[in-house]
């Protein structure tokens, strides 16, 4: 909405911002309900016609002309008919009767035509008045509907004619700003008074930039109502320029979006709490994994080792009595049990490593990635090549765990979907960010799968990075395959 004053002519914005003393408010609304007459009342005042131009003047003039011609011509006609006084007297009587009859007939014809025309005009006027009354009623109803729609949508409109310095505010804008229509004139100063002092410079800058660039205004800002309430509004406006590229008219809308803002803030706060809870759950899960992994590795591993030692002792004792045929079946059972214990120990080690590899806690992320890549290549036959920095950077524990889990999910997805023969993983630290790129040469994942909200593995990777202020993106290179890019910033003080 136009703001400011003419005390700043050095900018284009200052030239076209009107002060309150120059504004002339439009009469709003232009059509009021009480301007429509009640049934039976006329919207028209009596028409004053110039003297001598009405039907009555034509009748008088016609009568005078006819009477004069009758007087002069009838006397000459009677003198031709007779010269005797007795007959002349009788013909004078006939002449008078004829004059009366002819003038009466003439007056009847002329008055009939005059009154017929008057009735037609009155009927046309009544029809026009009825149509005009219906037009005003429809216009009033349309205005009521527009006001009601603006009230429901909490959106008002304004219009500023720059050259005439006239500003119009709809009723809803008065309600949004908490002003009284008729008491508060729509001016730029009134508008700026409603903007909090800490936001005024920014609001002026937005309007000035729009005037300079000619772009459509579309921004959100705060206002303070007369009752002290802080409200959020969204303003949209279009600027019309003349041939000299000077603004001549600016029209826009202002919508109260306070409820939407509050809902968005509530959603953002809920998301933050949810992310905090997710981070806490993830941390507890990692701790639980580490605890279970250690218990499996230490306690179960020790018991299996002791069992294996006992089986080896039995196997040795039975081997000393190899000459006794009855001992051979027992020896075979002991050997089979020893092999089963070896397989169980391998499974325990594998499960313990999958839960939480000890190498990640003891040696760090880079050796853990190398170990996982070697295990993946041995298990699947897919070549996995790592490109790691030398010397290795210091990596916080939380980032190490997140990058390791994301790498695990990447290679798992390659096994399930990519049909690839090679994986290249690049890890580096640049510009205060840890970057991990995992690329395969497979068939590539469809875009709808990358954008599918049900892809829990992909969502899990994104959520892990987001909890640390990072992001995960998925790309499909032109040469095929899929590239997963992970970027996690190093936050000062992060452990």
State the pLDDT at residue 428: 93
The reply to whether the predicted model has a pTM over 0.75 is no
- Which pLDDT band, with edges at 50, 70 and 90, does 386 fall under? very high
- CATH 3.90.650.10 assigned to domain 363-495? The reply is no
The whole-angstrom separation of Cα 146 and Cα 136 is 15
Q: What is the pLDDT of residues 34-83, one digit of tens each?
A: 444 444 444 444 445 554 556 666 667 776 777 777 676 776 666 666 66
- Which pLDDT band, with edges at 50, 70 and 90, does 23 fall under? very low
Length of the chain: 495
- Which pLDDT band, with edges at 50, 70 and 90, does 22 fall under? very low
For every residue of the chain, which 3-state class applies, written as one string?
CCCCCCCCCCCHHHHCCCCCCCCCCCCCCCCCHHHCCCCCCCCCCCCCCCCCCCHHHHHHHHHHHHHHHHHHHHHHHHHHHCCCHHHHHHHHHHHHHHHHHHHHHHHHHHHHHHHHHHHHHHHHHHHHHHHHHHHHHHHHHHHHHHHHHHHHHCEEEEEEECCCCEEEECHHHHHHHCCCCCCCCCCHHHHHHHCCHHHHHHHHHHHHHHHHHCCCEEEEEEEECCCCCEEEEEEEEEEEECCCCCEEEEEEEEEECHHHHHHHHHHHHHHHHHHHHHHHHHHHHHHHHHHHHHHHHHHHHHHHHHHHHHHHHHHHHHHHCCCCHHHHHHHHHHHHHHHHHHHHHHHHHHHHHHHCCHHHHHCCHHHHHHHHHHHHHHHHCCEEEEECCCCCCCCCHHHHHHHHHHHHHHHHHHHHHHCCCEEEEEEEEECCEEEEEEEECCCCCCHHHHCCCCCHHHHHHHHHHHHCCCEEEEECCCCCCCEEEEEEECCCCCC
Q: What is the pLDDT of residues 208-255, one digit of tens each?
A: 888 888 888 899 999 999 888 999 999 999 988 888 888 888 899 999
- CATH 3.30.450.20 assigned to domain 12-22+154-261? The reply is yes
Give the bridge partners for 231, in sequence order.
Answer: 223
């Amino acid at each position: 909405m136009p703001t400011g004053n003419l005390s700043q002519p050095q900018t284009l914005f200052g030239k076209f911002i009107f002060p309150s003393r120059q504004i002339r408010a439009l009469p709003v609304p232009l059509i009021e309900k009480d301007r429509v007459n009640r049934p039976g009342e006329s919207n028209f005042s009596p028409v004053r016609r110039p003297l001598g131009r009405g039907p009555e003047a034509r009748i008088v003039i016609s009568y005078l002309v006819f009477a004069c011609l009758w007087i002069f011509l009838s006397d000459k006609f009677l003198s031709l008919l007779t010269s005797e006084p007795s007959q002349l007297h009788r013909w004078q009587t006939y002449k008078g009767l004829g004059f009366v009859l002819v003038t009466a007939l003439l007056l009847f014809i002329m008055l009939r035509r005059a009154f017929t025309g008057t009735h037609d005009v009155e009927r046309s006027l009544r029809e026009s008045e009825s149509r005009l009354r219906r037009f005003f009623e429809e216009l009033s109803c349309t205005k009521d509907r527009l006001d009601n729609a603006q009230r429901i949508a909490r959106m008002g409109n304004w219009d500023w004619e720059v050259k005439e310095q006239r500003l119009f505010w709809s009723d809803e804008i008065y309600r949004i700003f908490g002003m009284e229509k008729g008491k508060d004139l729509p001016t730029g100063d009134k508008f700026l008074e409603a903007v909090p002092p800490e936001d005024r410079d920014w609001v002026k800058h937005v309007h000035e930039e729009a005037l300079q660039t000619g772009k459509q205004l579309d921004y959100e800002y705060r206002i303070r109502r007369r009752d002290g309430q802080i409200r959020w509004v969204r303003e949209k406006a279009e600027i019309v320029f003349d041939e000299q590229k000077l603004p001549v008219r600016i029209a826009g809308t202002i919508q109260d979006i306070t409820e939407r803002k509050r809902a968005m803030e509530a959603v953002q706060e809920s998301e933050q709490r949810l992310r905090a809870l997710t981070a806490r759950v993830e941390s507890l899960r990692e701790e639980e994994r580490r605890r279970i992994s250690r218990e499996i590795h230490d306690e179960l591993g020790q018991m299996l080792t002791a069992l294996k030692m006992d089986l080896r002792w039995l196997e040795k004792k039975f081997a000393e009595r190899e000459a006794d045929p009855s001992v051979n079946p027992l020896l075979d059972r002991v050997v089979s049990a020893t092999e089963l214990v070896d397989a169980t120990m391998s499974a325990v080690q594998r499960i313990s490593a999958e839960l939480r590899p000890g190498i990640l806690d003891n040696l760090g992320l880079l050796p853990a990635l190398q170990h996982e890549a070697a295990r993946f290549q041995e298990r699947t036959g897919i070549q996995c090549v790592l490109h790691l920095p030398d010397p290795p950077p210091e990596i916080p524990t939380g980032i190490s765990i997140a990058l390791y889990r994301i790498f695990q999910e990447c290679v798992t997805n390659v096994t399930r979907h990519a049909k690839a023969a090679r994986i290249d993983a690049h890890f580096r630290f640049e510009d205060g960010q840890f970057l991990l790129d995992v690329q395969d040469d497979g068939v590539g994942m469809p875009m709808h799968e990358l954008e599918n909200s049900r892809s829990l593995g992909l969502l899990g990777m994104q959520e892990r990075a987001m909890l640390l202020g990072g992001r995960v993106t998925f790309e499909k290179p032109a040469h095929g395959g899929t590239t997963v890019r992970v970027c996690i910033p190093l936050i000062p003080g992060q452990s």
